[in-house]
Homo-oligomer: A and B are copies of this chain.
Amino acid sequence: MIRLKTIFFVHPLKSKPIIILNFKTYREATGEGALTLARVAERVRDEQGVNIMVAVQHTDIYRIASSVELPVLAQHVDAREPGSWTGHVSAEAVKASGAAGSLVNHSERRLTLADIGSCISALRGLGLLSVLCTDTPETSAGGAALSPDMLAVEPPELIGTGISVSKAKPEVVTKTVEVVKKINSGVIILCGAGISVAEDVSRAIELGTDGVLLASAYVKAKDPYGLLTSMAKAALGAFKG
């Protein structure tokens, strides 16, 4: 039913910058709205040649993954094997519905250290991507030791503010890049929180990351296509690979 898709349609990770669009539970990004926003992202990805992924609600994974040639991420998985866990979401279930991976430990859905370890390990075992979210250089260092595929540092106090981490707290980004590379050089590093305009993206990459994670700026944009296109161009301009 779900067309098998090359997760990285355009090019392998690390060779191009990465933009992850988190749809959260915004009304505009639910059901049909989510599908529309994912199609816009697919178009920009195809036109600009950057890596773009969408992190959608569990209830929308199947619908979007069945219709759009873009890596679809879950926003969360529970550290639970399939079984007697009513109301939970296993890594197996998100895979069965077509997801290519999952965010782990987003600031709006924190997990215990033990569960982060279990989730990353379960995702890896199923061939799914893990994108671990952290809040400080210290917890980023801790998280890097668990070998997620990607790590996105986001100071929670900036999330949703429109004040970007790359401008307001560049030292959080550079320090995170430094400690993560030291502990585990294979981890792809993103940053997020307040990413609103193209310049926030290029600055994030200049600080040493491979890309960004953003949400409301895209979902609530008057012109999502225009915004994402400008961000993709800025990312490519700043990226050295």
Contacts and interface: CB of A to CB of B under 8 A. Distances in A.
Contacts of A86: 22, 24-25, 55, 75-76, 103, 106-109, 215
Nearest to A75: B87
Interface string A80-118: 101111111110111011000001011111111111110
A142 to B, nearest CB: 4
Contact of A59 (B31, B58, B108): B58
Contacts of A198: none
A134 B116 CA distance: 12
Interface stretch (A40-48, A60-68, A223-231): A60-68
A238 interface: no
A74 B109 CA distance: 20
15 contacts: A25-B82, A25-B86, A25-B88, A26-B82, A58-B93, A59-B74, A59-B93, A75-B86, A84-B159, A105-B114, A111-B112, A116-B139, A121-B138, A142-B145, A145-B183
A143 interface: yes
Interface residues of A, number: 69
Contact of A114 (B26, B60, B61, B135): B135
Nearest to A58: B58
Most buried by B among A74, A113, A144: A113
Chain copies in complex: 4
Contacts of A110: 112-115
A93 B31 contact: yes
Nearest to A27: B82
A57 B86 CA distance: 8
A136 interface: yes
Nearest to A90: B25
Interface in A144-176: 144-147, 156, 159-160
A96 to B, nearest CB: 3
Contacts of A62: 59-60, 62-63
Interface string A124-139: 0000000000111011
